[in-house]
Amino acid sequence: MKVAAFGRTEWLYDSIGAAAARGHRIVLIGTCPAAPEYKVREDDFARLAKGLGCPYFCDPNLNRPQYIRMVADSRAEVAMSVNWLTLIGPEMLAQFKYGMINAHAGDLPRFRGNAAPNWAILAGEKKVVLTLHQMVTELDGGPILLQREFPLTPQTYIGDVYRFLEKNIPEMFLEALDGLAAGSLFPREQVSDPALSLRCLPRLPRDGEIDWTQPAEEIARLVRASARPFAGAYSFIGTQKIIIWRAYPEKLPYPHLGVPGQVVEIRPQAGEVVILTGDGVLVIVEAETSAQGCRPVAEVVKSTRTRLGMDMAQELMLLADRLAQLEEQIRESKKGRS
């Protein structure tokens, strides 16, 4: 089949290569600015298009008339899409005999939208479902072609999910292209009940800041959902940022009194540090600071008198004192010049 490809990520890049190797003809590639965590950038897609001898563009607005003309001129029968940055309009979607197929890491109609696998971990879901569907103007709507499941456990990190996606997205695109070409793959409509749809909104790096008053189980899910290739869950020791890459929850085996964020125990042999939370403790396994880099957390946190989390009241008082000192220095400087 003649195939167009629109989107970002190494998953689409690998899918294009796999489709071309299978004998499908890639006739157009379009991309838009990559996210920081992506391994493949705009220039990589440009070089891929040059190697395949097909037109290429980079622009987040796929609905421009010139791109619709490019699709029409290419005579593409189907399009593959992964993580396109903006909504795609009906005129572009109507250009393809077999539609535009989107790979979405969510169990549609649940987990529509952004950061679906991250939200699935945060919500304590039992699985992530990778869905290939024919796109419509509604966000992550349209008939489903294929689905594959990846189980989520208390030991699953977002990087594990990404490795599943890296392997399965190209495989599923090939299955979809071959099935559509052979007439053996038939789309099925999504369930239309709005109560079964869950809209996932974008996440930002600052959403990884830890609130130590939360239960240890929830904080552990935040750590796993924010881990590599993302920016990481984080807290502070004083004003120094500490990124927590790996951690797990525990229950304290004894009655206790304390303030969330307090270091309860340091386990130097295991390289772990135990932090009190709103319910239970979080055992930190791997962390890093900007000053010390990534190292066993027991080498970063060395005292049970340490408390994680920025003391905003203290920092504001220190800032006010520093400001008063600077103002006094300015006054004295002006007196000296008069």
For each of the chain's 338 residues, which pLDDT tens digit applies? 999 999 999 999 999 999 999 999 999 999 999 999 899 999 999 999 999 999 999 999 999 999 999 999 999 999 999 999 999 999 999 999 999 999 999 999 999 999 999 999 999 999 999 999 999 999 899 999 999 999 999 999 999 999 999 999 999 999 999 999 999 999 999 988 877 889 999 999 999 999 999 999 999 999 999 999 999 999 999 888 999 999 999 999 888 899 999 999 999 888 899 999 999 999 999 998 876 666 667 777 878 888 998 766 676 777 787 888 888 788 777 777 76
Q: Is the dihedral of CA 53, 59, 62, 65 positive or negative?
A: negative
- Residues in contact with 11: Cβ distance below 8 Å, sequence separation at least 6, in sequence order: 82, 83, 103, 165, 166, 169, 170
Give the pLDDT confidence score for residue 253 in this predicted structure.
87
Give the pLDDT confidence score for residue 280 in this predicted structure.
97
Which residue, chain included where needed, has tokens 């004003």? 239
Sort strands 112-113 and 199-200 into parallel, antiparallel or unpaired.
parallel
81-118 pLDDT, tens per residue?
Answer: 999 999 999 999 999 999 999 999 999 999 999 999 99
Give the pLDDT confidence score for residue 318 in this predicted structure.
73
Q: How far apart (Å, rounded) are the C-alpha atoms in residues 87 and 103?
A: 14
DSSP string, 108-166: TTSSEESSHHHHHHHTT-SEEEEEEEE--SSTT-S-EEEEEEEE--TT--HHHHHHHHH
Give the pLDDT confidence score for residue 197 in this predicted structure.
84
Pick the CATH number of 2-200 from 3.40.50.170, 3.20.20.140, 3.40.50.970, 2.60.120.10: 3.40.50.170
Query: 9-22 vs 158-182: helix axis angle to the nearest 10?
Result: 30
Q: How far apart (Å, rounded) are the C-alpha atoms in residues 8 and 44?
A: 10
Is the CATH number 3.40.50.300 carried by domain 205-313? no
Look up residue 221 and give its amino acid: R
Domain boundaries, the chain: 2-200, 205-313
Structure tokens at 49: 């298009």
- Residues in contact with 193: Cβ distance below 8 Å, sequence separation at least 6, in sequence order: none
How is residue 207 annotated by DSSP? Answer: G
Structure tokens at 23: 């004998």
Give the pLDDT confidence score for residue 295 in this predicted structure.
64
How is residue 196 annotated by DSSP? Answer: G
